[in-house]
Amino acid sequence: MRSLHLLIASDLSIFLFGCTPSLDIKDTNIPLPEWVVMPNIDNGLADSACVPFSGHFTIDRNQATAEARNSLVRQIELKAANMVKTYGHKTDTVSGSNIGANFETSARQIAEATLQGSKAIKTDVFDIDGRKNLCVLVTLEPEKTKAVFANIVKSSGAELASNDERVLYEEFKAFKAQQELIQELPLN
């Protein structure tokens, strides 16, 4: 078990420092609230999206909500891919396992089905680069996030010890935080 934790820690450090994207980040000095820039909910999933404001509030809100929900699906898929990598490292010595592919397939189906459980909890209009944009924060509550994880594991057919499941769940929740940390790292 200690080796699994060391493996996870080494993967995380390689991921954080070895794979930092070389994005051209421009300092915009646009005063946007934290929920737009770095959406977050404790032990749950959150994402925000902004669309140009057309003056049709309901239509714009629905479009921004749909975009944020699509981002939640991508988050769940990325988290499942991260689970595949972690579980794959653990099962490399076991013969004939196809659990990784099952995690990914299950994640897409479950993520899309779970979107009914997501909620738009904040909406506001902001001036971004001289144009009005409507922004929405969509969240998936902690208990629903736990249910998504449990459904992915169950649908994959993986039989995990409770300790392994706990480790994978913590990684599942932490993946978004890893992505946010990468975005905050100064780029050379």
**Sign of the four-CA dihedral 52, 56, 62, 65:** positive
The mean pLDDT value for 2-17 works out to 38
Query: Burial, 82: exposed, middle or buried (Cβ in 10 Å; 0-12, 13-18, 19+)?
Result: buried
The residue ranking higher by pLDDT, 89 or 78, is: 78
* High-pLDDT (> 70) share of the chain, %: 44
Flag whether the pTM goes above 0.75: no
Instruction: Say yes or no to pLDDT of 110 above 90.
Output: no
Instruction: Say yes or no to pLDDT of 142 above 80.
Output: no
Instruction: Say yes or no to pLDDT of 54 above 50.
Output: yes
The mean pLDDT value for 135-153 works out to 79
pLDDT value, residue 19: 36
Instruction: Say yes or no to pLDDT of 133 above 70.
Output: yes
Q: How many CB atoms lie within 10 A of CB 47?
A: 23
Candidates 56, 177, 72, 151; CA nearest to 116 is 72
The residue ranking higher by pLDDT, 69 or 164, is: 69
